[in-house]
């Protein structure tokens, strides 16, 4: 086997691997990624899919967190200080979850405008603000207020 | 005073690193032996001053010197000593000091043990190490100074995030950094070889042990991190395909590919320029990982507060290191003529396949990790890429790697008879089929069919590796004493490989079973309530207040029975750390070979119907989950066994200089094939 022939073999094998990987990645990018929306997006844009998982982020509105009484459903409102989205989540809420803090939830928007969360993502660090939430607050023009409020 | 000494030591280390990064490099190019000779004392000096700085910072933590801002922000007098020490690297500034400390340690190791290297190569390697040191020391001094004073000093510190106050996480960063920084050795050797324009088997014999050591440390580091996430975060999961996790996994994948391709350079003098490229990529990915974690450009469950200025600095460094080394590679690599030719069906061919798939896998993980950034930059909206993406793309790429690993290990170099190998693997093939059928028999849905495939791969890896060893020591083919003698005579690298490959199988079994057959139950429980999970009955006895050194909280008590017999008690806790104003969950876990019983205590709520209070609780049964970490540790053990191989010791004449060791060492025999 000549050096050239060997190199050709490698190139073919390499292209084949890359081709398979590209096919896998492209199909996965079609339906396996999750979009993020701010409460304003959800209220103002009407075409948010209800059959697909999406993420919603903002601040947990003060005074809205209702802890479960006899089932395990937590209810709270996520706000970007312009619009609000009511969230319900069945399960155990993460340790760092608190009113007035940034939060991102993963779940599905219901037809009635409620949001059913499958996961509540809280961070290790209480000083941390999810970038999406910061962005959503900046977009709604309320970023300064939350900073001042602190 | 001590803090100022630390700061001053860092500045001196920077000055020495600048000298170390320039003089020997210039000396090697201009043929000035005196300049070249600077490398060794400079590496020693750099280590000395960096370790002084590191110890000064540790002193500030241990004595709770809150006049140092870093300590005030991240420590507390009530914290146990272990976490005062681990607090040194539990924050950005300190972790960077740990980074350069390990870097300087590796530099010292080359200076001390590298006496067998050609002097110019050693000088160049140390110079490249010096330049990396310059970059990171400057980064620390200009953007993340750990020794900044706070005036007036507060009476009490803010404390370390309690979730990080954990033995698993105390040792996670040092191991991770040993891995990351260890790859800088392969990188420095690669760049030095490119400058020299020469790569030979001796070069690979030098690079491989460093890579192997770094890889072992990284394996342990990732395993510790995943184990910690499993028991501390209270979600019962152990890997979330989170950007921060991926940031450590990508260098691991490239490092794994590098380990395998370096064997080809060493044994067959082929795949040289590819191996150089992998060495560059492994370290580049480590830097990228550091950037992703420290800049906060990605949303992550593990994200920490971060500073964009630092991100820009590391990004600049990244562009310089990756751009510079790849440019050098583009100029010099064509000169590296390959040596031995080989047929596609051969050990080399199998290793090429391994490399292609592992690097493609790494590329896919990298793409998935960066995709949200890329899409956002082009105004495509905010997205996140999670487990479904990686399961659909990465896993299919790894299946052929694992199937081929066993076959490849039995192929001979240069040209192999694959039919003969298949017939030698007959037993492994049958056992795999049995494993798949039995698993599929007990299950029904599509998910279970895929899981049966996973169990099949696990069986294939474990049995195949065992078979390989059994064959090489002629087990059952003669007197056992003969096999024993052969087992002892077998090169350690062969043992290492079989252990590591078998360990992958153990890990795959754990991953498959714990993701396919995990049972989760969430409910409200009042004292006296019983819940049954996977045949285990858990009776909730209630929860009592507890008090620790720097926290208070509640401890729940579950008595676990199976078929009426007492098994154990589980005591999950919910802790409140007043200093840090945060809460943590401590899961109650019973680890068994068959799986983990995992209990989490949630919020207390009023429940008048049940005469008082009830708690939300979450109980999991995670089948075979412990196998994941046992597999990972065994994998690292395989690497360590391979590291003790005789041929790696031949390359290190340091042992020959120690008379005591020389006596214990057998005469270096012919290099074992």
Q: Which of residues 226-265 of B touch A (CB under 8 A)?
A: 234
CA distances from A146 to A82, A99, B111, B418 (A): 12, 13, 54, 67
Nearest CA in chain B to A28: B389
Please tell me whether the interface predicted TM-score (ipTM) of this complex is above 0.90: no
Query: Does residue A54 surpass a pLDDT of 80?
Result: yes
In B593-647, the DSSP E strands lie at 595-607, 612-623
Query: Does residue B80 surpass a pLDDT of 80?
Result: yes
Same domain, A79 and A7: no
* Facing residue for A28 by CB, picked from B234, B389, B524: B389
Nearest CA in chain B to A9: B344
Structural domain contains residue B156: yes
Using alpha carbons only, how large is chain B's radius of gyration in Å?
A: 27
Of B607, B626, B645, the domain-final residue: B626
Chain A residues inside the 8 Å CB shell of B386: 32, 34
The pLDDT of B160-167, averaged and rounded, is: 78
3-class DSSP assignment, residue B34: helix
Nearest CA in chain A to B365: A25
Residues B499 and B128: their CA atoms lie apart, in Å, by 34
Chain A residues inside the 8 Å CB shell of B605: 67-69
CA distance B132 to chain A (A): 30
Same domain, A74 and A91: yes
Of B160, B193, B212, the domain-final residue: B160
Query: Does residue B175 surpass a pLDDT of 50?
Result: yes
Query: Does residue B306 surpass a pLDDT of 60?
Result: no
Same domain, A75 and A127: yes
- Residue A150's contacts (CB-CB under 8 Å, 6 or more residues apart) are none
Report the pLDDT value the prediction gives residue B668, as an integer from 0 to 100.
38
Q: Which domain holds residue B526?
A: 519-626
Burial per residue of B193-220, b for 16 or more beta-carbon CB atoms within 10 angstroms, e otherwise? bbbeebbeeebbbbbbbbbbbbbbbbbb
Are the Cβ atoms of B606 and A69 closer than 8 angstroms? yes
Task: State residue B615 phi and psi, 5-degree precision.
Answer: -120, 145
Residues B253 and B261: their CA atoms lie apart, in Å, by 13
Are the Cβ atoms of B353 and A13 closer than 8 angstroms? yes
Report the pLDDT value the prediction gives residue A145, as an integer from 0 to 100.
46
Are the Cβ atoms of B602 and A92 closer than 8 angstroms? yes
Residues B316 and B475: their CA atoms lie apart, in Å, by 57
Q: pLDDT tens digits, residue range A61-116?
A: 888 888 776 677 889 998 888 888 999 998 878 777 878 888 888 899 888 888 99
Indicate which of B304, B389, B521 best probes the interface with A, i.e. most A CBs within 10 Å of its own CB.
B389
Report the pLDDT value the prediction gives residue B463, as an integer from 0 to 100.
95
Nearest CA to B634 out of B465, B512, B397 is that of: B465
Same domain, A47 and A85: yes
Report the pLDDT value the prediction gives residue A122, as an integer from 0 to 100.
65
Same domain, A45 and A102: yes
Q: pLDDT tens digits, residue range B32-68?
A: 999 999 999 999 999 999 999 999 999 999 999 999 9
Report the pLDDT value the prediction gives residue B657, as an integer from 0 to 100.
37
CA distance A112 to chain B (A): 24
CB pairs under 8 A between A and B: 133
3-class DSSP assignment, residue A83: coil
- Residue B597's contacts (CB-CB under 8 Å, 6 or more residues apart) are B533, B534, B536, B538, B560, B570, B589, B590, B619, B620, B621
Are the Cβ atoms of B383 and A93 closer than 8 angstroms? no
Chain B residues inside the 8 Å CB shell of A67: 603, 605
Query: Does residue B322 surpass a pLDDT of 80?
Result: yes
Note whether B607 contacts A: Cβ–Cβ < 8 A.
Answer: yes
Same domain, A12 and A51: no
CATH number of the domain where residue A112 is located: 2.40.50.140
The pLDDT of A118-131, averaged and rounded, is: 66
pLDDT band (50, 70, 90) for residue B669: very low
Note whether B344 contacts A: Cβ–Cβ < 8 A.
Answer: yes
Count the domains in chain B: 2
Q: pLDDT tens digits, residue range B403-413?
A: 999 999 898 88
Structural domain contains residue B123: yes
Report the pLDDT value the prediction gives residue B472, as an integer from 0 to 100.
87
Are the Cβ atoms of A14 and B356 closer than 8 angstroms? yes
The residue that leads in pLDDT, B96 or B163, is B96
Note whether B340 contacts A: Cβ–Cβ < 8 A.
Answer: no
Indicate which of A3, A5, A17 best probes the interface with B, i.e. most B CBs within 10 Å of its own CB.
A17
In B109-238, the DSSP E strands lie at none
Structural domain contains residue B579: yes
Same domain, A26 and A11: yes
Same domain, A25 and A74: no
> Count of alpha carbons within 13 Å of B31, Cβ hemisphere only?
0
Are the Cβ atoms of B301 and A126 closer than 8 angstroms? no
Q: pLDDT tens digits, residue range B465-491?
A: 999 999 888 887 778 888 888 888 888
Indicate which of B414, B616, B620 best probes the interface with A, i.e. most A CBs within 10 Å of its own CB.
B616
Structural domain contains residue B119: yes
Nearest CA in chain A to B339: A3
Residues B98 and B104: their CA atoms lie apart, in Å, by 10
Query: Does residue B335 surpass a pLDDT of 70?
Result: yes
Nearest CA in chain B to A23: B393
Can you tell me which residue has the tokens 């077998």? Answer: B490
Angle CA B40–B45–B50, to nearest 5: 130
The pLDDT of B617-641, averaged and rounded, is: 95
Residue length of chain B: 673
pLDDT band (50, 70, 90) for residue B673: very low
Average predicted confidence (pLDDT) for chain B: 87
Query: Does residue B165 surpass a pLDDT of 90?
Result: no
Angle CA B571–B577–B578, to nearest 5: 140
Note whether B606 contacts A: Cβ–Cβ < 8 A.
Answer: yes
How does DSSP assign B440-503, residue by residue? HHT--SHHHHHHHHHHHHHHHHHHHHHHHHHHHTTTTSS-HHHHHHHHHHS-HHHHHHHHHHHH
Same domain, A64 and A21: no
Q: What is the dihedral of CA B354, B359, B364, B370, to 10 degrees?
A: 160
- Residue A99's contacts (CB-CB under 8 Å, 6 or more residues apart) are A60, A61, A62, A63, A64, A65, A76
Minimum mean pLDDT among A49-63, B290-304, B558-572, B614-628: which range? B290-304
CA distances from B143 to B307, B311, B320, B636, B638 (A): 9, 10, 18, 35, 40
Residues B111 and B411: their CA atoms lie apart, in Å, by 38
Count the domains in chain A: 2
Note whether B158 contacts A: Cβ–Cβ < 8 A.
Answer: no
Query: Does residue B444 surpass a pLDDT of 80?
Result: no
Query: Does residue B304 surpass a pLDDT of 60?
Result: no
Its pTM stands at 0.89
Same domain, A22 and A86: no
pLDDT band (50, 70, 90) for residue B655: very low
Q: Which of residues 363-402 of B touch A (CB under 8 A)?
A: 363-364, 367-368, 371, 381-386, 388-389, 392-393, 396-397
Nearest CA to A124 out of B91, B379, B107 is that of: B91
Report the pLDDT value the prediction gives residue B299, as an integer from 0 to 100.
55
Report the pLDDT value the prediction gives residue A62, as an integer from 0 to 100.
87
Indicate which of A8, A25, A56, A137 best probes the interface with B, i.e. most B CBs within 10 Å of its own CB.
A25
Note whether B322 contacts A: Cβ–Cβ < 8 A.
Answer: no
CA distance A131 to chain B (A): 7
pLDDT band (50, 70, 90) for residue B447: low
Report the pLDDT value the prediction gives residue B611, as an integer from 0 to 100.
65
Report the pLDDT value the prediction gives residue A146, as an integer from 0 to 100.
45
Are the Cβ atoms of A70 and B371 closer than 8 angstroms? no
Query: Does residue B190 surpass a pLDDT of 60?
Result: yes
% of chain A exceeding 70 in pLDDT:
81
Of B7-21, B68-82, B646-660, which one has max mean pLDDT? B7-21
Q: pLDDT tens digits, residue range B343-369?
A: 778 898 899 999 999 999 999 999 999
Q: Which domain holds residue A5?
A: 1-32
Note whether B299 contacts A: Cβ–Cβ < 8 A.
Answer: yes
Same domain, A43 and A24: no
Same domain, A71 and A142: yes
Residues B368 and B391: their CA atoms lie apart, in Å, by 11
CB atoms within 10 A of CB B316: 12
> Count of alpha carbons within 13 Å of A55, Cβ hemisphere only?
25
Structural domain contains residue B1: yes
* Facing residue for B524 by CB, picked from A35, A55, A70: A70
Are the Cβ atoms of B296 and A131 closer than 8 angstroms? yes
Q: pLDDT tens digits, residue range B553-572?
A: 999 999 999 998 999 999 99
């Amino acid at each position: 086997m000549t050096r050239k022939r060997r190199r050709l073999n490698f190139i073919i094998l390499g292209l084949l691997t890359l081709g398979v990987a590209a096919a896998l990645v492209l199909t996965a990018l079609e339906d396996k990624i999750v979009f993020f929306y701010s409460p304003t997006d959800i209220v103002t844009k009407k075409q948010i899919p209800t059959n697909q998982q999406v993420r919603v982020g903002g601040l947990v509105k003060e005074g809205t967190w209702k802890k479960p009484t006899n089932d395990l459903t937590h209810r709270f409102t996520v706000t970007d200080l312009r619009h609000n989205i009511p969230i319900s989540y069945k399960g155990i809420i993460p340790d760092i979850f608190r009113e007035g803090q940034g939060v991102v939830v993963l779940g599905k928007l219901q037809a009635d405008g409620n949001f059913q969360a499958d996961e509540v993502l809280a961070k290790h660090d209480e000083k941390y603000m999810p970038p999406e939430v910061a962005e959503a607050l900046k977009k709604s023009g309320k970023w300064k207020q939350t900073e001042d409020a602190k | 005073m001590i803090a100022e000494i630390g700061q001053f030591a860092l500045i001196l280390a920077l000055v020495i690193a600048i000298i170390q990064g320039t003089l020997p490099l210039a000396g090697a190019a201009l043929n000035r032996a005196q300049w070249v000779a600077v490398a060794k004392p400079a590496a020693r000096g750099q280590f000395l001053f960096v370790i002084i700085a590191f110890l000064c910072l540790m002193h500030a933590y241990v004595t709770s010197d809150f006049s140092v801002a870093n300590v005030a922000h991240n420590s507390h007098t009530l914290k146990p000593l272990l976490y005062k020490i681990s607090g040194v690297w539990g924050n950005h500034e300190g972790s960077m000091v740990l980074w350069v400390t390990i870097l300087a340690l590796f530099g010292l190791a080359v200076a001390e043990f590298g006496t067998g290297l050609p002097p110019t190569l050693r000088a160049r390697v140390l110079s490249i190490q010096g330049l990396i040191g310059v970059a990171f020391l400057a980064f620390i001094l200009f953007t993340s100074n750990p020794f900044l004073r706070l005036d007036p000093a507060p009476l009490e510190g803010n404390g370390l995030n309690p979730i990080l106050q954990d033995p698993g996480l105390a040792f996670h960063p040092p191991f991770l950094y040993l891995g990351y920084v260890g790859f800088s050795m392969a990188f420095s050797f690669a760049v030095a070889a490119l400058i020299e324009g020469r790569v030979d088997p001796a070069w690979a014999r030098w690079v491989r042990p460093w890579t192997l050591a770094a890889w072992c440390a990284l394996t342990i580091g990732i395993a510790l991190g995943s184990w910690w996430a499993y028991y501390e975060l209270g979600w019962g999961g152990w890997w979330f395909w989170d950007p921060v996790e991926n940031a450590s996994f990508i260098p691991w994948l490239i490092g794994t590919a590098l380990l395998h391709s370096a064997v080809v350079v060493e044994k067959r003098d082929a795949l040289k320029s590819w191996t150089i490229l992998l060495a560059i990529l492994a370290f580049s990915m480590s830097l990228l990982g550091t950037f992703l974690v420290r800049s906060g450009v990605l949303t992550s469950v593990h994200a920490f507060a971060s500073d964009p200025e630092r991100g820009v600095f590391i990004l600049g460094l990244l562009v310089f290191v990756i751009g510079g080394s790849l440019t050098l590679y583009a100029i010099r690599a064509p000169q590296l003529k390959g040596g031995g030719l080989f047929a596609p069906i051969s050990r080399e061919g199998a290793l090429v396949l391994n490399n292609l798939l592992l690097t493609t896998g790494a590329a896919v993980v990298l793409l998935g990790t960066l995709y949200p950034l890329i899409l956002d930059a082009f105004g495509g909206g905010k997205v996140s890429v999670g487990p479904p993406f990686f399961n659909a793309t990465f896993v299919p790429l790894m299946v052929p790697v694992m199937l081929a690993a066993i076959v490849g290990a039995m192929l001979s170099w240069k040209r192999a008879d694959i039919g003969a190998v298949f017939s030698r693997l007959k037993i492994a093939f049958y056992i795999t089929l049995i494993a798949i059928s039995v698993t599929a028999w007990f299950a029904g849905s599509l998910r279970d069919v895929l899981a049966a495939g996973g169990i099949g791969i696990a069986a294939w890896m474990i049995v195949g590796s065992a078979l390989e060893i059994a064959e090489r020591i002629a087990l059952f083919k003669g007197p056992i004493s003969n096999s024993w003698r052969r087992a002892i005579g077998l090169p350690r690298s062969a043992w290492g490989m079989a252990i590591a490959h078998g360990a992958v199988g153990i890990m795959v079994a754990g991953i498959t079973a714990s993701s396919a057959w995990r049972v989760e139950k969430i409910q409200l429980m009042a004292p006296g309530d019983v819940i049954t999970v996977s045949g285990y009955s858990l009776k909730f006895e209630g929860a009592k207040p507890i008090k620790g050194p720097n926290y208070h909280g509640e401890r729940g008590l579950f008595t676990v029975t199976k078929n009426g017999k007492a098994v154990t008690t589980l005591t999950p806790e919910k802790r409140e750390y007043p200093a840090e104003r945060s809460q943590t969950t401590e899961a109650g876990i019973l680890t068994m070979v068959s799986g983990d019983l995992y209990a989490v205590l949630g919020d207390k709520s009023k429940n008048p119907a049940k005469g008082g209070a009830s708690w939300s609780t979450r109980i999991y049964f995670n089948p075979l989950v412990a196998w994941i970490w046992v597999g990972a540790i065994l994998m690292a053990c395989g690497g360590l066994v391979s590291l003790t191989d005789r041929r790696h010791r031949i390359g290190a004449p340091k042992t020959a200089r120690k008379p005591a060791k020389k006596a214990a060492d057998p005469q270096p025999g012919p290099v074992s094939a």
